[in-house]
Amino acid sequence: MGAMSKWWPRSGVVAVGLLLLAGAAGPRAAADEEKNPLRDELLKLNNATTEDLQNARFRALIKDRAKAKKAVAEAAKMMKEAKDKDDKPFNYNGTLIIGKVAQVVKDYDTAAKFYERQAELATQVKSGPKILAAYENLIDLYFDAKRYADAIDTCERVMDMTEPKEVVDAQPFVLEKMIQAKARSGKVDEAMSLAKSLISRTGGSWYFTQLKGWIEREDGRIDDAIKTYTTVLDKLDADKGLKGDAKDRFKDGVRYILSGLYVENKDIDKAAKQLETLIKRHPDRATYKNDLGFIWCDNDMKLEESEKLIREALDLDKKAQEKAKEEGKIDEVKPNAAYLDSLGWVLFKQKKYKEALDYLKKASLDEEEGGHLEIWDHLADCYMALGQKKEAIAAWEKALKMEDLSKRDGERRRKVSEKLKKARTEKGE
């Protein structure tokens, strides 16, 4: 399994910095409020005028998920109590942080309201970067919530804007997100037609050619997607406008996508070749080592080498987290659940079931990253191998409650259902 971000969630419409409203007016004095520690804490979010401060306040809120949900509910109540727009209790900084927290705890309706307010405040001061950041948050939220119709509507709102300049300049990338939302909502032909139009209008741009490959992958046309992304690599090589590190970074991104496509196509040797190239270029990048170790062990290949790579990934990730903690970017260092799952799985494949169980349990218990169908399926398989059928059944039952994170999860869900049915039958249920 691949790694997942552990801290401040950032979306990807276009790379824009968050230039925040320092001391923006908006909330009235809290003197008239009842003494309420949680409300006081929430109002202080308005004073987080730098990205580092916002990051710290965000992390502090989501550390305790129960408290985070309570805080989001209280913030929503405070907004509802406000008599008019000028009386709203949160400024740009506060709406941004609360919106992010609401998104993390999956209170999508509240997150949308706060992002809409963020957009209103940014529009009032006519700040292009801030307007763009607010709409980027909304689009990212709707993708996260699988509300693709809302994502399309939001993209269209941005596409209709004729100012400010920063928003107009970003519209091709907003159009890209709209095309992806259309594909995700089942409008694949319409999405492909728009993508081809973009490619034509940009003279066969490699950037929008990869959008075509993305749609093909989304539509299950893996062979076509592989051909398209291979073409993207060729176009990148031929692009004289891109220099040095920038070109290499884009090529690395395409290679990583190709590795996943080859896995989906069950061409493990070609997937491994892409990852080996990436490891050679970035020997300190944990993700590539974990992924190569996982796909090898998942296909019963090079188990000892796989274990070595995954342990290296865990060590590299730990060092990266320690550095991030020193820099104030995260509050704690903990093993990556995806990498723990990989290590447990490679040990399982080597029939080291008791040792494997320890790592798989740790992965499944991670509150942020352990809620994945694949992790719980691996855990159940390990319980079964140890003869603990009751625990295996419970793990598979929990696995089926997990949300699908990829199309491959649909096939895995079917297999889990079959294994659960067989285990129950054997147990006499």
Quickly list DSSP for 54-98: HHHHHHHHHTSHHHHHHHHHHHHHHHHH-SSGGG-S--HHHHHHH
CATH code for the domain defined by 1-173: 1.25.40
User: Which residues in the chain land under pLDDT 50?
Assistant: 1-33
pLDDT at 39: 95
CATH topology of domain 183-282: 1.25.40
pLDDT at 330: 87
**CATH 1.25.40.10 domain position(s) in the chain:** 183-282
pLDDT at 109: 98
Distance CA 111, CA 224 (A): 37
pLDDT at 289: 98
Distance CA 55, CA 332 (A): 14
Distance CA 361, CA 7 (A): 23
pLDDT at 381: 98
pLDDT at 14: 43
Distance CA 185, CA 154 (A): 15
* DSSP labels, 30-60: GGGS---HHHHHHHGGGG--SHHHHHHHHHH
| DSSP H or E stretch at residue 101 | helix 92-104
Q: 368 phi and psi, to 5 degrees?
A: -85, -40
Instruction: Say if CB 348 and CB 385 are below 8 A apart.
Output: yes
| DSSP H or E stretch at residue 113 | helix 108-124
The pTM assigned to this predicted structure is 0.86
Q: Which two tokens stand for residue 372?
A: 């994945």
pLDDT at 429: 64
